[in-house]
Amino acid sequence: MDIKIATEIGKCLSNPTRVQIMEWLKEPEKNFPPHETLQHFNDGVCVSYIQEKAGLSQSTVSTYLSNMEKCGLLVLTRYGKWSYLKRNEKIIQEYIDFIR
Amino acid sequence: MDIKIATEIGKCLSNPTRVQIMEWLKEPEKNFPPHETLQHFNDGVCVSYIQEKAGLSQSTVSTYLSNMEKCGLLVLTRYGKWSYLKRNEKIIQEYIDFIR
DNA sequence: CAAACATATCTATAATTACCGATATATAAA
DNA sequence: TTTATATATCGGTAATTATAGATATGTTTG
């Protein structure tokens, strides 16, 4: 991992709500209600659930998640009108290897 | 580690110079000239060497290092008029355990 | 003690980020 | 094909951070 990407990841992890989102996504079934159309969390959690739980505006949370996805911390999967986000454990591990 | 401290660490790691400093301090003997009064890097590297290498003002780098020490990323040791800084591997590991 | 040196802190301005409401886009449902 | 729903993006203001120069503090040395 290069220093530029590591810094972008650091920026994502410099805000308590975004750090909290990373923590919530460790255990979706514990932290979120079940999805209505999907019977699992295989692709993570939909944006609106995360937004609701974060208690910030839709636009703010959407921007957070977009940036977290751009730097690789999260993986985005779209099904119809829903977007699901899950942790990208591979990139997280690369980041850990970089800073350790 | 609680989310507040993790966020402070994230802030420190959200700037390329500060990330770079963390990297340099992994291998002081490789990245810095030998100290004049001290014959080792056991307590890390003095502020002025880090400042010189970073290429930013003395006050800016001093503030960086101070914040990095406050959140636990670095350990500060003073000998007379010199301050030495080294990585705090214990806290770094705690941070890694938190985000993983 | 005075001068020199290393580092920290203060003050100020420029740049960036936080956050929202409004609006756009894209899909699904009626 | 309108309407509703989910998410993204735009435009703006408030808050925070970046960074520097000036100054203060503490230490060593002459």
> How far is Cα A73 from Cα A26, in angstroms, rounded to an integer?
12
User: What pLDDT digit, counting tens, does each position of B28-52 carry?
Assistant: 999 999 998 888 899 999 999 999 9
> How far is Cα A59 from Cα A51, in angstroms, rounded to an integer?
9
In angstroms, the CA of B63 and the C1' of C9 are apart by: 9
The answer to whether A42 CB sits below 7 Å from nucleic acid chain C is no
pLDDT over threshold 90, residue A21: yes
pLDDT over threshold 90, residue B81: yes
| CA B2 to chain centroid | 21
Q: What is the mean pLDDT of residues B47-73?
A: 98
DSSP B18-84: HHHHHHHTT-HHHHSPPPSS-S--TT-EEHHHHHHHHTS-HHHHHHHHHHHHHTTSEEEEEETTEEE
Nucleotide nearest to A37 (CA to C1'): C28
Which pLDDT value is given to residue B37?
A: 82
Other beta carbons within 10 Å of A42: 10
Contact of A90 with chain B, judged by CB distance below 8 Å, is answered with: no
- What integer best gives the mean pLDDT of chain B? 97
Of the candidates A3, A14, A95, the beta carbon closest to that of B20 is on A3
Give residue A37's pLDDT band: very low, low, confident or very high (50, 70, 90).
Answer: confident
What is the rounded (10 degree) CA torsion for A90, A93, A98, B4?
A: 120
Distance from CA of B12 to the nearest CA of A (A): 8
Of the candidates B9, B19, B100, the beta carbon closest to that of A3 is on B19
Of the candidates B3, B12, B22, the beta carbon closest to that of A16 is on B3
The answer to whether B63 CB sits below 7 Å from nucleic acid chain C is yes
Q: Which residues are paired to A86 by β-bridges?
A: A75
A3-99 topology per CATH? Arc Repressor Mutant, subunit A (1.10.10)
> With contact defined as beta carbons under 8 Å apart, do A54 and A24 qualify?
no
User: Which residue of A lies nearest to B24 if distances are taken between CA atoms?
Assistant: A99
The answer to whether B17 CB sits below 7 Å from nucleic acid chain D is yes
Distance from CA of B21 to the nearest CA of A (A): 11
Which pLDDT value is given to residue B38?
A: 83
User: What pLDDT digit, counting tens, does each position of A39-59 carry?
Assistant: 899 999 999 999 999 999 999
Q: The tokens of B30 are what?
A: 């490789």
Which pLDDT value is given to residue B58?
A: 98
Domain limits, chain B: 3-99
Q: Which residues are paired to B61 by β-bridges?
A: none
Give residue A81's pLDDT band: very low, low, confident or very high (50, 70, 90).
Answer: very high
